[in-house]
């Protein structure tokens, strides 16, 4: 059986990027010695090869002149250029993920945005943990080396307390990412939902959005309903009063109950795929980079990579959530 090649993936990325900048002129107006789309492809290669240090990336380019020329680069970017450009990629990747998630709807009916899912997953910071008492006091113990001071604490239902970062992901029933936001672990689901609200309501415009109990907010449920969108959550603690009773009757309707039931398969396994794409195969999904700017780009890049893998899988009639073909092409 034929499999997609690296060239097939890059051709798709370049095609999507050209359409993206046409639809978003603010990104087209930026001019660099090393263009954005080539930088994205390069960092995707580095992520799959698990070459995360910028010094090591520079050395890789120096020892792979053919690959450098394939990227259209006449000279090798300096280590500091790679670091600076990587840290600055996050807002572009956020916008690109949103665009690709919408653009894919015309390709495959499984990529629709009618019914969406929202969840947060914690990723452990690279390096040691900073105990909360020391962190609050701004005290770094003398023997604590290579500490990520941007990370914060939050509690996971699966792993307990985690010192690290949180990925706030919106996807659809097939698991195709639609919107992504990366914050420190302590950033709550409610804060992230407030940040995403305008895009969800006015850009993605789904009929329903399902989340776990952490997304239950009576005011938001009523406000979204007034705009024709249903926010579905188990609402375990919102049970008293006529509005709560009416809401529980609503979420128990067969169609809504099925959507809530599908949440575990629609979004939770997607976080595991993203973890595999960054090489975080351990139980706590430990990140390969430190600092919020680097972590944001790392996880947003993996989210975009998953989108590309799924779109190519759709085109080539491969299992939709398989990432092995993508990884094989980029390593």
Look at residue 33 in the predicted model and tell me its pLDDT. Answer: 67
Q: Are residues 158 and 186 both part of a single domain?
A: yes
pLDDT per position as a tens digit, 156-208 = 877 789 999 999 999 999 999 999 999 999 999 999 999 999 999 999 999 99
Residue 305 backbone phi and psi in degrees, to 5: -60, -40
Q: Are residues 56 and 161 both part of a single domain?
A: no
Altogether, the residues listed in the chain come to a count of 331
Gap between the Cα atoms of 79 and 85, Å rounded: 10
pLDDT per position as a tens digit, 74-84 = 999 999 999 99
Q: Are residues 265 and 307 both part of a single domain?
A: no
Gap between the Cα atoms of 275 and 302, Å rounded: 8
Quote the domain boundaries for residue 210.
112-269
Average pLDDT over residues 216-235: 96
pLDDT per position as a tens digit, 113-154 = 999 999 999 999 999 999 999 898 988 998 888 999 999 999
Q: Are residues 21 and 74 both part of a single domain?
A: yes
Is 274 inside a domain boundary?
A: no
Q: Are residues 89 and 145 both part of a single domain?
A: no
The partner residues of 154 in beta bridges, in order of sequence, read 162
Nearest residue to 42 (alpha-carbon basis) of 23, 14, 4: 14
Is 279 inside a domain boundary?
A: no
pLDDT beyond 90 at 1: no
Is 33 inside a domain boundary?
A: yes
Using only C-alpha atoms, the chain has a radius of gyration, in whole angstroms, of: 21
Average pLDDT over residues 17-39: 86
Q: Are residues 93 and 119 both part of a single domain?
A: no
Q: Are residues 122 and 242 both part of a single domain?
A: yes
Q: How confident is the model at residue 29 (pLDDT cuts 50, 70, 90)?
A: low
pLDDT beyond 80 at 45: yes
Is 163 inside a domain boundary?
A: yes
Gap between the Cα atoms of 40 and 42, Å rounded: 5
Is 57 inside a domain boundary?
A: yes
3-state secondary structure of 178: strand
Average pLDDT over residues 77-98: 97
3-state secondary structure of 119: strand
Q: Are residues 298 and 163 both part of a single domain?
A: no
- 254: burial class by Cβ within 10 Å (0-12, 13-18, 19+)? exposed
Average pLDDT across the chain, whole number: 95
Q: Are residues 264 and 154 both part of a single domain?
A: yes
Q: Which position has the higher pLDDT, 180 or 28?
A: 180
pLDDT per position as a tens digit, 287-296 = 999 999 999 9
Global pTM? Answer: 0.96
Residues 182 and 299 sit within 8 Å (Cβ to Cβ): yes
Ramachandran assignment for 237, one of left (phi > 0), alpha (psi -120 to 50 degrees), beta (any other): alpha
Is 277 inside a domain boundary?
A: no
Residue 129: give its domain's CATH number: 3.30.420
pLDDT beyond 90 at 100: yes
Is 1 inside a domain boundary?
A: no
Q: Are residues 121 and 265 both part of a single domain?
A: yes
Nearest residue to 175 (alpha-carbon basis) of 263, 63, 54, 305: 263
Residues 147 and 127 sit within 8 Å (Cβ to Cβ): yes
Q: Are residues 117 and 251 both part of a single domain?
A: yes
CA 42 to chain centre: 18
Domains identified in the chain, total number: 2
């Amino acid at each position: 059986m034929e499999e997609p090649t690296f060239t097939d993936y890059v051709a798709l990325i370049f095609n999507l990027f050209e359409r993206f900048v046409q639809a978003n002129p603010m990104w087209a107006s930026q001019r660099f010695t090393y263009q954005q789309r080539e930088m994205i492809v390069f960092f995707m290669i580095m992520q799959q090869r698990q070459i995360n240090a910028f010094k090591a990336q520079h050395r890789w380019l120096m020892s792979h002149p053919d690959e450098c020329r394939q990227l259209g680069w006449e000279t090798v970017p300096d280590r500091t250029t790679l670091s600076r450009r990587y840290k600055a990629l996050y807002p572009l990747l956020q916008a690109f993920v949103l665009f690709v998630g919408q653009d894919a709807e015309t390709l495959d009916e499984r990529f629709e945005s009618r019914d969406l899912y929202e969840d947060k997953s914690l990723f452990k910071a690279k390096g040691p943990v900073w105990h909360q008492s020391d962190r609050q006091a701004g005290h770094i113990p003398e023997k604590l080396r290579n500490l990520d001071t941007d990370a914060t604490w939050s509690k996971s239902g699966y792993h307990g307390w985690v010192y690290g970062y949180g990925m706030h992901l919106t996807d659809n029933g097939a698991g195709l990412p639609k919107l992504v936001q990366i914050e420190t672990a302590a950033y709550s689901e409610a804060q992230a939902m407030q940040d995403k609200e305008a895009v969800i309501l006015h850009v993605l415009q789904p009929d329903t959005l399902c989340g776990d109990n952490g997304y239950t907010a009576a005011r938001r449920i009523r406000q979204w309903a007034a705009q024709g969108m249903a926010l579905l959550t188990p609402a375990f603690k919102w049970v008293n009063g006529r509005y709560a009773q009416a809401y529980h009757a609503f979420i128990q309707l067969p169609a809504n109950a099925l959507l809530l039931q599908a949440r575990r398969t629609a979004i939770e396994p997607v976080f595991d795929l993203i973890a595999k794409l960054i090489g975080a195969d351990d139980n706590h999904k430990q990140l390969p980079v430190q600092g919020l700017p680097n972590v944001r780009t790392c996880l947003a890049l993996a989210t975009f990579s998953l989108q590309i893998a799924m779109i190519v899988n759709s085109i080539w009639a491969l299992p939709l959530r398989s990432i092995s073909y993508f990884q094989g092409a980029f390593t």
